[in-house]
Chain A
């Protein structure tokens, strides 16, 4: 026994240098490859979140100064009418945008799922707006919705002079214009998600239900849609964060106007941090937005992680 051991260790010792290096490399390689990404994420994401959080506690104006004043900026923020309008708009815009996108996405997906001809072409047409940036969407819809240029003028020129569609210049309705443009852009994407989900539904179950005499609407309502719950959830999370970070759409479509009636929190943050030299206030609004995103993401991550553990 001892002899054999000795021989083994001897042969191991012979091939040791190279193998050991290889082993080490194999150990280190994943870490080595991941380090740059990890560093970038740590510094650029979490580092700057921390930095912004600290800034929001200072009275920084044009440039960062480290003069801490506690939560004063948050008090000012929630005392600011413009911020409250922006928050209100976000709730209205976000709520409508998500609801309409989901409804329209499911509806289009169900229609496309009827084994129709030219499905590929149709799918592409619906999905294409997603390839355009919100700036382009906003500019195009600005022209379409402008009363003296777009839809209203077109209908007037057809002879219907009493037709009126001036939401874009109406402070109470301008948010709906944002919803229209955003839904146009994103509902195709939601449709694609649901289409993939529909293709994954077990056809045996559908056939079984048909044998039991269930009508098509009932099958959709009781079997297919409930089985798409994870898709609903993913779509919701994606749409919610599109809504919260919306900035370019407002900038291109309404410029925040009329007045500041179509401002969203991201526009408020940009205006105050960068053009109005109120960096502290801007940072505070950014932190509140982060809170909003976390309020959506944390339950999602929690359910995802818990789901995996159970499985």
Chain B
């Protein structure tokens, strides 16, 4: 008996000894596509180098829906991971529920307020304190075009929606799909967002989708946005229903389709296909939106932990994410631009340069707007309500007037 006891104690001690110095950082994320996985591997390596254990908690599914479901059950059971990939206003929601931990000490030490543009740091803070770390900034209002298809159709790449509606029939007549698209609610919303920003401008966009001003939602301008949006439906192939965005991108890559309106994560697909920006494909701001920038920021929110060792490791993770070396490698793989300012531009390609320039320029001119299609502008309730109206309008013969009335009504209902 005595021997058993001493054996157990010895075992327990040895276990405790092996665990104590290297604390574990569990990170829940949905960065599972090949480029993204390579990006997150960098972070893993850095963390290991610092003597911490990375516990991967990847839940596949690009939109992160299944990841959020898993996160909720873990949080309710009182065992949240150290960090989770949460973005936009969801960070506020989690902060309100009291799950997130204050990272202000690290932020002050790392001078985050200086390094991050105010738009970005605002998203990362709950109640004035940093609770999340940004990994990148995506520009959503891009158009990805195959110049070969445009040459064959004998038209130029449109820079306004008016031009788009002029060239699209010609592209269609030449036997190509003018607009590659996937009929999923968020893709419909991404396209709608580009039309709304292009036709209405940044002020209109902010009033409608950030402030939810009733008069703006019901305005003549909004009717026009819906009308133009509907016209785009004629230039999408009939099989778009339910198609994933990367399949739509591959239509542009293969020369089946002329262009796609999509965020700069699409660039990863072109890169993976061995194509060069400016040569095999062209990135341009979505029509009428050259001076504006719709942003989508990915971030890791930090959860409150009661184990001190693990909390230390968590802080280390937060520091590492803000390091230039991580931000560089991650964003080169993901197609986005670094969230922190003052980075070396040289490794990035021309599309990323254009994005960086537009980001800085739009921030100073007040035309930097949050993407509602990606959860940066509004709560998930209002976002869902807008999605429903937009996707239903796009897929039915509802009139633009009805759609506008419906939009105003459901946005109001979702805010209750």
A: which residues have CB within 8 A of B?
61-63, 72, 76, 79-82, 142, 146-149, 166, 168-169, 171, 254-255, 257-261, 271-272, 274-278
Query: Within the complex, what minimum Cβ distance (angstroms) separates B91 from chain A?
Result: 11
**Central interface residue in A63, A147, A272, A276, by most chain B CB within 10 Å:** A276
- Whether B413 lies near A261 (C-beta < 8 A) is no
Sort A-B residue pairs by CB-CB distance and give the 6 closest, nearest first. Answer: A259-B395, A258-B395, A276-B384, A169-B241, A259-B391, A258-B241
Q: Is residue B69 within 8 Å, beta carbon to beta carbon, of the partner chain? A: yes
- Whether B239 lies near A146 (C-beta < 8 A) is yes
- Whether B381 lies near A276 (C-beta < 8 A) is yes
- Whether A277 lies near B183 (C-beta < 8 A) is no
- Whether B381 lies near A277 (C-beta < 8 A) is yes
The answer for the CA separation of A148 and B68 in the assembled complex, in Å, is: 34
The answer for the CA separation of A254 and B396 in the assembled complex, in Å, is: 16
Interfacial chain B residues near A61, Cβ < 8 Å: 93, 381
Contact of A258 among B75, B76, B183 (CB under 8 A): B183
The answer for the CA separation of A168 and B410 in the assembled complex, in Å, is: 28
Per-residue interface assignment for chain B, residues 38 to 63, with 1 indicating a CB less than 8 Å from any chain A CB and 0 otherwise: 00000000000000000000000000
Contact of B238 among A169, A259, A272, A277 (CB under 8 A): A169
Minimal Cβ-Cβ distance residue in B for A148: B239
The answer for the CA separation of A63 and B97 in the assembled complex, in Å, is: 8
Interfacial chain A residues near B406, Cβ < 8 Å: 81
**Central interface residue in B241, B391, B413, by most chain A CB within 10 Å:** B241
- Whether B93 lies near A257 (C-beta < 8 A) is no
Interfacial chain A residues near B241, Cβ < 8 Å: 168-169, 254, 257-258
A81/B413 contact (C-beta < 8 A), A166-B238, A260-B185 known? no
9 inter-chain pairs at a CB distance below 8 angstroms, sorted by A residue, are: A80-B413, A81-B388, A169-B238, A171-B395, A274-B65, A277-B90, A277-B379, A277-B381, A278-B384
The answer for the CA separation of A254 and B391 in the assembled complex, in Å, is: 14
The answer for the CA separation of A147 and B93 in the assembled complex, in Å, is: 42
A275/B65 contact (C-beta < 8 A), A62-B97, A257-B241 known? yes
A259/B392 contact (C-beta < 8 A), A61-B381, A63-B76 known? yes
Interfacial chain A residues near B381, Cβ < 8 Å: 61, 276-278
Extra contacts, 14 of them, besides A257-B183, A259-B183, A277-B90 (Cβ < 8 A), are A61-B93, A62-B97, A63-B72, A63-B76, A146-B239, A255-B242, A257-B184, A257-B241, A257-B242, A259-B188, A260-B388, A276-B380, A276-B381, A277-B93
Minimal Cβ-Cβ distance residue in A for B94: A62
Interfacial chain A residues near B391, Cβ < 8 Å: 257, 259-260
Interfacial chain B residues near A146, Cβ < 8 Å: 239
Contact of A275 among B68, B94, B240, B394 (CB under 8 A): B68
- Whether A63 lies near B395 (C-beta < 8 A) is no
Per-residue interface assignment for chain B, residues 214 to 248, with 1 indicating a CB less than 8 Å from any chain A CB and 0 otherwise: 00000000000000000000000111111000000
Contact of B239 among A62, A147, A271, A272 (CB under 8 A): A147
Q: Is residue B15 within 8 Å, beta carbon to beta carbon, of the partner chain? A: no
- Whether A79 lies near B413 (C-beta < 8 A) is yes
The answer for the CA separation of A255 and B395 in the assembled complex, in Å, is: 14
Query: Within the complex, what minimum Cβ distance (angstroms) separates A162 from chain B?
Result: 15
The answer for the CA separation of A272 and B238 in the assembled complex, in Å, is: 28
Interfacial chain A residues near B94, Cβ < 8 Å: 62
Interfacial chain A residues near B396, Cβ < 8 Å: 171, 259, 261
The answer for the CA separation of A113 and B93 in the assembled complex, in Å, is: 62
Q: Is residue B416 within 8 Å, beta carbon to beta carbon, of the partner chain? A: yes
The answer for the CA separation of A196 and B242 in the assembled complex, in Å, is: 41
The answer for the CA separation of A81 and B72 in the assembled complex, in Å, is: 28
Minimal Cβ-Cβ distance residue in A for B244: A255
Per-residue interface assignment for chain B, residues 74 to 95, with 1 indicating a CB less than 8 Å from any chain A CB and 0 otherwise: 0110000000000000100110
- Whether A76 lies near B185 (C-beta < 8 A) is no
The answer for the CA separation of A274 and B391 in the assembled complex, in Å, is: 20
- Whether B380 lies near A169 (C-beta < 8 A) is no
Minimal Cβ-Cβ distance residue in A for B99: A63
Minimal Cβ-Cβ distance residue in B for A274: B69
A272/B242 contact (C-beta < 8 A), A62-B94, A63-B75, A76-B416 known? no
The answer for the CA separation of A260 and B93 in the assembled complex, in Å, is: 26
Contact of A62 among B72, B238, B388 (CB under 8 A): B72
Query: Within the complex, what minimum Cβ distance (angstroms) separates A216 from chain B?
Result: 47
The answer for the CA separation of A271 and B66 in the assembled complex, in Å, is: 11
Interfacial chain A residues near B240, Cβ < 8 Å: 169
- Whether A169 lies near B239 (C-beta < 8 A) is yes
Interfacial chain A residues near B90, Cβ < 8 Å: 62, 277
Interfacial chain A residues near B380, Cβ < 8 Å: 276-278
The answer for the CA separation of A277 and B379 in the assembled complex, in Å, is: 9
Interfacial chain B residues near A272, Cβ < 8 Å: 384
The answer for the CA separation of A159 and B416 in the assembled complex, in Å, is: 56
Query: Within the complex, what minimum Cβ distance (angstroms) separates B416 from chain A?
Result: 7
Minimal Cβ-Cβ distance residue in B for A149: B239
A260/B392 contact (C-beta < 8 A), A166-B238, A169-B241 known? yes
Per-residue interface assignment for chain B, residues 180 to 223, with 1 indicating a CB less than 8 Å from any chain A CB and 0 otherwise: 00011100100000000000000000000000000000000000
The answer for the CA separation of A260 and B72 in the assembled complex, in Å, is: 25
